[in-house]
Amino acid sequence: MQRLMGGVIECASKKPRLAHALTRDIARALAGRTSRASIALYDRTTRTSCAYRADKHYDSASIVKPIVLGALLHATGGDLSEEEQDLARKMIVNSDNQSTYVLWDMIGPDGIQDFLDEAGMTNTAVDEAGFMGLTQVTARDQAILLELLTGEDDAVLDEEERAYVLELMRDVQEDQRWGAPAGAPSDADVQVKNGWLQRSEENLMNPWDRGDWKVHSMSAITGRAYDYGLVVLTENNRVPEDEHPEVGWGYGMDTIESVAKAIHRNLYPGR
């Protein structure tokens, strides 16, 4: 356990040295970063877990999209029309917002909530005004979703449905495969979904909403001996005055990838 400003890094493992190394290197990766971050990690193979500010709420941006797909599959029993399959692929693979809203409206807030309840994602809150990207998510709940998708329990989604979500996350277009997969084992299957959102500059009374970027990444690492998931959420990735707005987006991505590389390196060195 190691305390950082704003929280405590807690790692546990059947390998005590691994837990210590993860705690130390996550702290080093976050040292000096001005953005806020939250982390949730599980590894079934080494029975390892880490959490840092894992119950802090964030605007979801596009990492809500696997939730939308899960809710669609749950509501339809996995029997998707060709149109729904096309929309689902655009939503996950290309992160297309228009397709997401079509599916969002098909399912409705009650359908989304039903899936969240069944999945045990009790700390996720759908935006009352219906803005999918302002769904309030936590790193811990997103890790619960990854565990559901890579697990063997058919209670919420069956094997075929889970495999379908993971297939689309494996097919995410190349320029959106940054973040949590950085440094992952080269022989692993990597499923990923990222999100990014620049909030408006209108709410200047809130110090965490001054046109900064929310940048998030979640990834399930599977195949061979791998069975783990990582979620890193960030906010307050500020855009300095007179700088291009994407500077803040890049800062958030760098924070996530620094954490991810430290975690992958410790879990599976040399791979």
Q: At what angle do helices 82-93 and 159-170 cross, to 10 degrees?
A: 50
pLDDT band at 69 (very low <50, low <70, confident <90, very high): very high
Q: Which two tokens stand for residue 64?
A: 């809500």
For the stretch 120-167, pLDDT in tens is 999 999 998 889 999 999 999 999 999 999 999 999 999 999 999 999
Q: Which two tokens stand for residue 82?
A: 């060709």
Question: Does residue 56 surpass a pLDDT of 90?
Answer: yes
State CA 63 to chain mean position distance: 6
Instruction: List the beta bridge partners of residue 198.
Output: 213
3-state secondary structure of 226: strand
Under CATH, to which class is 54-267 assigned? alpha beta
Q: What is the pLDDT of residue 200?
A: 58
For the stretch 178-232, pLDDT in tens is 999 999 999 999 999 999 998 755 555 555 555 688 999 999 999 988 999 999 9
For the stretch 82-108, pLDDT in tens is 999 999 999 999 999 999 999 999 999
Q: Would residue 86 be called left, alpha or beta, if left means φ above 0 and alpha means ψ between -120 and 50 degrees? A: alpha
Question: Does residue 243 surpass a pLDDT of 70?
Answer: no
Cα four-point dihedral sign 62, 58, 141, 119:
negative
Q: What is the pLDDT of residue 33?
A: 87
Q: Which two tokens stand for residue 210?
A: 């001054």
Q: What is the pLDDT of residue 129?
A: 87
Cα four-point dihedral sign 197, 184, 228, 77:
positive
Name the average pLDDT for the chain.
Answer: 92
Per domain, the residue ranges of the chain are 54-267
For the stretch 3-41, pLDDT in tens is 676 789 999 999 999 999 999 999 999 998 888 999 999
Q: What is the pLDDT of residue 114?
A: 97
